[in-house]
Chains A and B, each alone.
Chain A
Amino acid sequence: MAGLATLSALVVLAPLFFVLLFLMRTGLGAINLEFFTALPGPAGEPGGGMANAIVGTMILGALAGALGIPIGVLGGVFLAEFPNTRLSHATRFTADVMAGIPSIVMGLFAYILVVLPLRHFSTLAGGIALGVMLLPTVVRTTEEIVRLVPQSVREASLALGIPQWRTQLSVIIPTAAAGIVTGIMVGLARIAGETAPLLFTAFGNRFWNWDLLKPIAALPLQIFAYAISPFEDWHRQAWAGALVLVALVLVVNVAARYAAGRQVRLR
């Protein structure tokens, strides 16, 4: 039986190995300077890059962060500092529910909320879809880490005559800061690869866009579009895009681990 358990570990890790192998093999060959600096080429013609999609993914991530981080962190602090109010129970439950909502449904929500009233696809809609997806992760990880801040730290601050709100803002949040940042980064890494909620919100764009009210390209969208296209060169670029996306996600994840290491020991 021990053999079977070990074998299953190997079987489960095999796809990871194969996915990374093909990413490297096909993706690396298609990555060049043009890939990072050029706009997508005309359909069917070789050449062109994903510069706008890479920047687009970062803009969408920043927008999602602008929405999800302040609400998530402050909401999480509320859950940790006032754990047994009726609101805390409701927020905790709904955050868990929200974390389980399929990403495509989040896309529908942002579509109804932003795209329908404005009558066109927009960067803003994509950012809101991703921001709502980021929110539950940030709320729950913030709560978890702030709860670990020892009571003695609070008491020390209060004993100095510092009011409760200053204690929460200037003592408790900074003490938990690295842990909070870890949660944020893990959340950002997760939404960076999301495609489904962007299909009918950010929509994609073949050109540069700096207008929040216009459609924008995103790396996952571009990978999807190229993967299902009939062109050989676009397939290669899809692999290159996937390699860049996976690298981006992994870098953020590793950075999150680093931040976690910087957290003041709370236990």
Chain B
Amino acid sequence: MATVIAARTFRPAARSGDRLFRLLLAAMAAAVPLILGALLVALLVEGWPAITRFGLTFFGSSTWDPVARQFGVLPFIYGTLVSSALALSIAVPLGLGVAIFLAELAPRWLRSPVGFLVELLAAIPSVVFGLWGIFVLVPWVRSGLTPVLKGALGFLPLFQGPPLGIGMLTAGLILAIMVVPIIVAVSTEVMRAVPTAQREAALALGATRWETTRRAVLPYARSGIAGAIFLALARALGETMAVTMVIGNVPQIKASLLAPGYTISAVIANEFTEATYDLYVAALIYAGIVLFIVTVLVNVVARLLVARVGRGIEAGRE
């Protein structure tokens, strides 16, 4: 306190300078929550006509008919969930494999280049994946992958219908490619944060390298890995361009993964500029609000999970 009093006595100008500058910094910091608040209010105000008109039936109805002014998002929710689930079922095992490779197995000289290449994968814009999806992945799924899947698992309802190439499966594949870097980056980080003593203890008990990873490292990093998966899920749920370009954009609920589908983000992207009357716009914004709430919740859960590993490790050190 003494210094403060002294400063106040001798340098009154400096004190008010401090206060002003702090106020400026605080105003800038306050802009972030204010913008988020403005975003919420803006979405709610503009989506309100649709919220009051459709309420909860919005989620239960599969009729999306702008001409009849009927809007239900069930097929879009279905498409969003199925394409994301498909993406995760591919990306999680692969991403964990790469993370184990990077954190536990790879020789030191190989870690940084492989890590860099995975980062590069994350830096490629969504629209470029979409372009590649349309001209490379879709034809491959149509004439390469689908016949194989139909041959082996064609009796399952999952693989019925004509091989279009576009559809849920392709969307899931492209999403998997896009979210895998998140899983790799976050899980590698949490696995590296596992204390070396943990590994040494397992090795000293006669565990092999793989047993060490599986019984000593993975359980320790468990909640962080779960966090990584949730972060990837949030990304997959909200991803727009690449999915729009390969999923086929047909609002239907079909058991087959080969059938076209539609997602919430894709319908906003495709129809927003064509929405000709206020209720139509409001319905699309309502869909956006749903997407916003879901992704924010998933993100918050993810961050809590990742933070838990950090705290566990801090506690372990003390």
Contact = CB atoms under 8 A, between A and B. Distances in A.
B14 interface: yes
A48 to B, nearest CB: 18
Contacts of A166: 14, 17
A75 B32 contact: yes
Given A5-B97, A102-B239, A94 B268 contact: no
A32 B102 CA distance: 40
Contact of A239 (B45, B105, B131, B177): B131
B300 interface: yes
B197 interface: no
B29 A78 contact: yes
B261 interface: no
B36 interface: yes
A100 B299 CA distance: 6
A77 B25 CA distance: 7
Contacts, number: 258
Dominant secondary structure of chain A at its interface with chain B = helix
A246 interface: yes
B9 interface: no
Given A90-B33, A242-B131, A7 B17 contact: no
A12 B238 contact: no
B297 to A, nearest CB: 10
Contacts of B121: 12-13, 15-16
Interface in B206-259: 209-210, 213-214, 231, 234, 237-241, 245
A238 B131 contact: yes
A95 interface: yes
Q: Which 6 A-B pairs have the closest CB atoms?
A: A193-B125, A102-B238, A8-B97, A165-B21, A100-B299, A163-B14
Interface of A: 1-2, 4-9, 11-13, 15-16, 18-19, 22-23, 26, 70-72, 74-75, 77-79, 81-82, 87-88, 90-91, 94-105, 107-109, 111-113, 116, 132, 135-136, 139, 161, 163-166, 168-169, 189-190, 192-196, 199-200, 203, 220, 223-224, 227-228, 235, 238-239, 242, 245-246, 249-250, 253
Interface of B: 7, 11, 14-15, 17-18, 20-22, 24-26, 28-33, 35-36, 38-39, 42-43, 45-46, 93-98, 100-102, 104-106, 114, 117-118, 120-121, 123-132, 134-136, 177, 180, 184, 209-210, 213-214, 231, 234, 237-241, 245, 265, 268-269, 272-273, 284-285, 288, 291-292, 295-296, 298-300, 303
7 contacts: A12-B118, A71-B32, A108-B284, A220-B241, A224-B130, A227-B245, A238-B131
